[in-house]
Amino acid sequence: MGAKAIKLGSKKPDIGLKSPNGETIIVREFEPADEPEVLRIFHEGLLEMVPDTAFRGLRQHPGSLLLYAAITVVGFAVTMCWWVIGLLPALVVCVRYLYSRRVIHGYLTEAMSRDMGNIEGFYMQSTGSCLWVAVLDGKVVGVVAASGQLEESGRAVELRRMCVDRRYRRCGVGVALGEKVLEFATASGYSFVNLGTTAYTPAAHQLYQRLGFQCVGVTNGYITPGSRPSLPERLFYRVRYHRYSFKVSDEFITWQGNLS
């Protein structure tokens, strides 16, 4: 399929879905006037990853827990002070928070220096890519992007930058955004839709599974773009990277065709 046909995949009519409250969610292509709200939602969504990785993520890494426990035991053995048992774990959690914040801010800087700092040029003027916003009650409440890839298994598109304003979650916005990317992939002739996430919140993984994505791999110790993998960072910032994939089957294409 030629480049022109690929880009036409983003020109289908806007998705209009009903939220649980009966309001219509419109998913449309990004416009320059949307940029302030898109960047706000993206920025706030990334900052939510700081406590997510620092606190919730700690429970998912038993190796780190054992290391921190060993540090506490050694500290107590050296000082023979009972207060060390409470102080060192609290100090470790604070350091994890600081390193998570540092890495996430580095990732934000990296994103702004690449695609999110030039949305129009990176997504809207590039073949096989697009960025959409979700509008609810006249307000931009979510964002998602797609970027074409080439893989050994066939042509794929990557679902990227999905963020939903925290005030409008559990309203079906994430589902509407995800379905827009799947529609784009189908219309553009892609074979797969891929995504990766370091989120530990169950809601994020439940959303991808609800859309039909399958987890195809997990990487422990993932190096976040924009980070500096120093020894302290490896000790106090460790995340698990989940890779999901959706195969665009003939049945899905037929189902999409029946909706149009």
pLDDT of residue 19: 57
Helix and strand numbers, DSSP H then E, in the chain:
10, 8
> How far is residue 186's CA from residue 129's CA, in Å, rounded to a whole number?
13
Alpha-carbon span 246 to 112, nearest angstrom: 27
- Mean pLDDT, range 165-186, rounded to an integer: 93
* C-beta atoms surrounding 190 within 10 Å: 26
- How much is the pLDDT for 69? 76
Q: What pLDDT score was predicted for residue 18? A: 57
Low-confidence winner among 20-29, 110-119, 128-137, 206-215 (lowest mean pLDDT): 20-29
Sheet containing 154-164: which strands, arranged edge to edge? 15-18, 24-29, 129-136, 139-151, 154-164, 192-197, 240-247, 214-220
pLDDT of residue 123: 94
CA distances from 12 to 6, 23, 100, 185 (A): 12, 21, 39, 12
The predicted structure's pLDDT at residue 15: 57
Amino acid at 37: E
Residue 16 pLDDT: 62
Strand positions, DSSP E, 72-213 = 129-136, 139-151, 154-164, 192-197
Judged against a pLDDT cut of 70, whether residue 146 lies above it is answered with yes
Residue 254: pLDDT over 50: no
Average pLDDT, rounded, for the chain: 82
> Among the listed ranges 47-61, 81-95, 193-207, which one has the minimum average pLDDT value?
81-95
The span from the CA of 220 to the CA of 57, in Å, is 11
**Average pLDDT estimate for 19-43:** 89
Reported as a pLDDT band with limits 50, 70 and 90, residue 7 is: very low
Instruction: Single out the residue of 148, 124, 144 nearest to residue 27, CA to CA.
Output: 144
Is the pLDDT at 247 greater than 50, yes or no?
Answer: yes
Task: Give 19 or 25, the one with higher predicted confidence.
Answer: 25
120 — pLDDT class (breaks 50, 70, 90): very high
Is the pLDDT reported for residue 73 higher than 70?
yes
Query: Which segments within the chain are labelled E, that is strand?
Result: 15-18, 24-29, 129-136, 139-151, 154-164, 192-197, 214-220, 240-247
Q: Residue 235: in which H helix or E strand, if any?
A: helix 231-236
pLDDT at 70: 78
